[in-house]
């Protein structure tokens, strides 16, 4: 192949060098109007920076140990997914893989395409209890079952219809076999396939964006129907009622040092459950509930008004809570619930009147040998309460236990049988629970607890004291076993005790 030889042209080379040098020779600093002002809070470092401003460089031992570097992350490994195969999984699954075919757009448009799928999943609990609840004069041994069944119909990535039912219980009674005691050798069938919840939830911003064929310009989650509602770990609200709700989510307020905050408005017109008016299905409610990441902690607040079927039993309810970790060792939550405005029936005491204070604290010690391997596994806790007059949660389901359910395991009902607890209503009472929780290698749990309920002036019920123990362990990713035992000493009443074993299958 013939190639044409070439040489550099001296004239062109000189012209190139001149064009590069001339702008630099005439360069000037920009006028003051074009300079950027430095923030007054910023500080110029010395040039070069002082070594005292930086921590020493890490020291690496001789040789490289690949396994030691992996162990920095806690020797993590893949775990089987307990919900990989739900009872029913049609269409798009919860945990799927691979590319999807183009989605239909006939429902809400191309910007909110259909992503349909139906799943049914839940858990089955079977418990064997032997207890004396202090009533009836006899011990009772029974085996009871509870089936929680969720059904989820996905419409798009953000919209769905959800339903929930508990087929093995009805009217507070569970399918069970009474072995011995007050009731002996009796099988009780309590089947109920009525839906406990049926509601739609989605994002109004995604829906309107899809219908108008543009990307969502705002986020506004909504829900309506027979819907569940839980706030503050179930302390303030844990119920399902006919209603609707919408939320302003993921906002921030820099001037108040709030990095993230949500606010939910809700209203219900039937099926609200409250001890203040327990005999009506027409109790209504409206209110708001919010939270904020602020002041190096977590702030929760809420207001609600319960419109009871009997107007004399209607009342206002307010709550506030603040949770924070101090000194890297103490985790603390302070909660308050207040009730006011109830007229009450003539000649009867008010059923929602007064205030409840809850103090929940746990410690991560650094000096105990048990905790040296992984300090967060060993958790002493102290939870205290003080209830003045007759405080109430805004709404509580019939089998969700009392407002003190989270105070300690001796206040916690199993939601299936008459397994005994200490008085969990906190009416004119104060007390708490002191316990130790050990999580071993995060695969087992043991809790040992002592608790007390003291009465205030005007409460004629006797004081109560209790001890409780719990052991829990997963057998497989889908199977958990749990053992509980408690003993309660009740002043002026018959003492109570109980032992139970439970197995839970998730599917």
Encoded tokens for 426 = 């906190």
DSSP 25-66: HT--PPPGGGSPPPPTT--PPPSSPPGGGSPPPP---SS--H
User: 271-312 pLDDT, tens per residue?
Assistant: 999 988 887 778 899 999 999 999 889 999 999 999 988 889
Task: Summarize the confidence of residues 9-13 as an average pLDDT.
Answer: 47
Point out the least confidently predicted range of 194-198, 221-225, 309-313, 389-393. Answer: 309-313
pLDDT confidence tier of residue 186, bands split at 50, 70 and 90: very high
Task: Summarize the confidence of residues 387-409 as an average pLDDT.
Answer: 92
Tell me the β-bridge partners of 327.
Answer: none
Task: Give the torsion through C-alpha atoms of 17, 19, 20, 21, to 10 deg.
Answer: 80
Q: Let me know: does 474 contact 503? Beta carbons within 8 Å.
A: no
- The shares of helix, strand and coil residues in the chain, as percent rounded to the nearest 5, are 10, 45, 45
49 or 146, greater pLDDT: 146
Phi-psi region of 33 (alpha: psi -120 to 50; beta: other; left: phi over 0): alpha
Out of 1.20.272, 2.70.40, 3.10.20, 3.30.1300, the CATH code matching 401-507 is 3.30.1300
The confidence score (pLDDT) of residue 415 equals: 87
The confidence score (pLDDT) of residue 15 equals: 44
26 or 125, greater pLDDT: 125
Encoded tokens for 241 = 């009622």
Encoded tokens for 264 = 């939910």
pLDDT confidence tier of residue 5, bands split at 50, 70 and 90: very low
User: 250-260 pLDDT, tens per residue?
Assistant: 999 988 889 99
Please check the confidence at residue 400 and state whether its pLDDT lies above 90: no
Give dist(CA 34, CA 37) in Å, integer. Answer: 9
The confidence score (pLDDT) of residue 75 equals: 66
Please check the confidence at residue 449 and state whether its pLDDT lies above 50: yes
The confidence score (pLDDT) of residue 34 equals: 56
Give dist(CA 138, CA 491) in Å, integer. Answer: 19
E strand or H helix at 150, and its extent?
strand 140-156
The confidence score (pLDDT) of residue 36 equals: 67
The confidence score (pLDDT) of residue 56 equals: 79
Please check the confidence at residue 171 and state whether its pLDDT lies above 90: no
DSSP-derived 3-state class of residue 5: coil
Instruction: Find the DSSP H helices in 319-379.
Output: none
The confidence score (pLDDT) of residue 341 equals: 93
Contacts of 373 (CB under 8 A, 6+ apart): none
Domain ranges of the chain: 401-507
Percent of the chain with pLDDT strictly greater than 90: 54
Mean pLDDT of the chain: 85
């Amino acid at each position: 192949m013939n190639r044409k030889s070439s040489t550099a042209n001296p004239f062109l080379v000189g012209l190139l060098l001149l064009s590069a040098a001339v702008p630099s020779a005439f360069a000037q600093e920009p006028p003051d109007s074009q300079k950027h002002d430095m923030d007054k809070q910023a500080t110029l470092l010395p040039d070069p920076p002082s070594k005292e401003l930086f921590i020493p460089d890490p020291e690496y031992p001789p040789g490289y140990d690949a396994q030691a570097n992996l162990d920095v992350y806690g020797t993590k490994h893949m775990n089987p997914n307990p919900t990989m195969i739900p009872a029913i999984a049609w269409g798009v699954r919860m945990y799927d893989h691979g590319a999807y075919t183009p989605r239909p757009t006939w429902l809400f448009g191309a910007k909110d395409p259909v992503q349909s799928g139906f799943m049914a999943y839940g858990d089955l609990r079977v418990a064997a209890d032997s207890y004396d609840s202090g009533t009836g004069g006899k011990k009772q041994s029974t085996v009871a079952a509870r089936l929680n069944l969720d059904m989820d119909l996905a419409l798009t990535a953000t919209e769905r219809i959800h339903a929930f039912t508990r087929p093995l219980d009805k009217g507070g009674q569970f399918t069970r076999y009474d072995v011995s005691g007050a009731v002996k050798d009796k099988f009780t069938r309590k089947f109920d396939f009525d839906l406990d919840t049926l509601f739609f939830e989605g994002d109004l911003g995604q829906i309107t964006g899809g219908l108008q064929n543009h990307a969502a310009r705002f986020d506004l989650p909504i829900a309506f129907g027979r819907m569940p509602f839980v706030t503050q770990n179930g302390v303030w609200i844990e119920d399902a009622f006919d209603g609707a709700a919408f939320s302003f989510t993921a906002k921030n307020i820099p001037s108040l040092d709030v990095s993230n905050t949500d606010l939910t408005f809700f209203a219900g017109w039937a099926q609200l459950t409250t001890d203040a008016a327990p005999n009506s299905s027409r109790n209504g409610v409206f209110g708001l509930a919010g939270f904020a990441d602020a002041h190096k902690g977590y702030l929760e607040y809420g207001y609600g008004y319960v419109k009871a079927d009997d107007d004399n039993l209607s009342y206002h309810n307010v709550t506030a809570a603040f949770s924070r970790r101090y000194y890297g060792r103490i985790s603390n939550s302070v909660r308050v619930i207040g009730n006011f405005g109830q007229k009450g029936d003539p000649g009867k005491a008010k059923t929602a009147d007064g205030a409840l204070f809850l103090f929940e604290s746990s410690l991560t010690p650094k000096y105990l040998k048990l905790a040296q391997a992984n300090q967060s596994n060993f958790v002493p806790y102290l939870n205290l309460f003080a209830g003045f007059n007759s405080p109430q949660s805004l709404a509580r389901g019939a089998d969700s236990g009392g407002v003190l359910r989270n105070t300690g395991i001796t206040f916690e009902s199993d939601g299936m049988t008459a397994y005994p607890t200490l008085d969990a209503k906190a009416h004119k009472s104060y007390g708490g629970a002191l316990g130790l929780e050990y999580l071993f290698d995060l695969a087992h749990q043991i809790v040992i607890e002592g608790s007390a309920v003291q009465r205030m002036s005007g409460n004629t019920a006797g004081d109560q004291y209790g001890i409780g123990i719990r052991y829990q362990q997963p057998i497989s990713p889908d199977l958990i076993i749990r053992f509980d035992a408690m003993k309660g000493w009740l002043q002026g009443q018959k003492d109570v005790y109980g032992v139970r074993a439970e197995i839970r299958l998730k599917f």
